[in-house]
Amino acid sequence: MEIDPFIFRLSIFILSIFVGYYVVWSVTPSLHTPLMSVTNAISSVIIVGAIIAGLAGNSDSIFNTSSIFGFIAIALAAINIFGGFLVTQRMLAMYKKKKKDK
């Protein structure tokens, strides 16, 4: 009997939850805000689904209901990707160590 591919995806999912659990506990509390903004950015990898949806229309009709939803989703996810990574970058650039002046 063959294993359903769903089980493999489920395994990846469960293991990733554990990876996430341990990785996030090691995040220093002072970086919790950048953590939220960067998780925001990376969860927008949902854009891959939006791209598939957007390209689904055939050459005669680029715009059908399904692909229009895809296009809008692309724009929404793009706001998040650029906004999320850039604002994280901006925040992280501010974290500085004490100048060693002694």
Partner 1 sequence: MLSANLSAIFYLISGVLFILALRGLSSPETSRQGNYFGILGMIIAITVTFLSIGNFSTGFVVILIFLLIGGLIGAFIAYKIPMTAMPELVAGFHSLVGLAAVFVAISAFLNPDAFNLGSPGNIKLGSLIEMSIGAAVGAITFSGSIIAFLKLQGIMSGSPITFKGQHPLNAIILVLIVVNIYLLCTTQSSNLFWILLAISFLIGFLLIIPIGGADMPVVISMLNSYSGWAAAGIGFTLENTALIITGALVGSSGAILSYIMCKGMNRSFFNVILGGFGATDQTNSTQNKEQKPVKSGNADDAAFLMKNASSVIIVPGYGMAVAQAQHALREMVDTLKKNDIKVSYAIHPVAGRMPGHMNVLLAEANVPYDEVFELEEINNDFANADVAFVIGANDVTNPVAKTDPQSPIYGMPVLDVEKCKSVLFVKRSLSPGYAGIDNDLFYKENTLMLFADAKKMTEDITKNL
Please report the beta strands in 47-91, taking only residues with DSSP state E, as ranges in sequence order: none
- Distance of alpha carbon 92 from alpha carbon 75, whole angstroms: 25
102 near partner 1, rule: CB under 8 A: no
What x/- string results for residues 35 through 74 when contact with partner 1 is judged by CB under 8 A?
xxxxxxxxxxxxxxxxxxxxxxx-x--x-xxxx-xxxxxx
Residue 99 sits at φ, ψ, to 5 deg, of -70, 135
- Distance of alpha carbon 94 from alpha carbon 83, whole angstroms: 17
Q: How far is the CB of 7 from partner 1 (least distance, A)?
A: 11
- Cβ atoms within 10 Å, residue 96: 6
The residues in 1-30 that bind partner 1, with binding defined as CB under 8 A, are 5-6, 9, 12-14, 16-21, 23-30
Please say which residue, 1 or 4, places its beta carbon nearer to partner 1: 4
93 near partner 1, rule: CB under 8 A: yes
Locus of tokens 């469960």: 14
Q: How far is the CB of 2 from partner 1 (least distance, A)?
A: 15
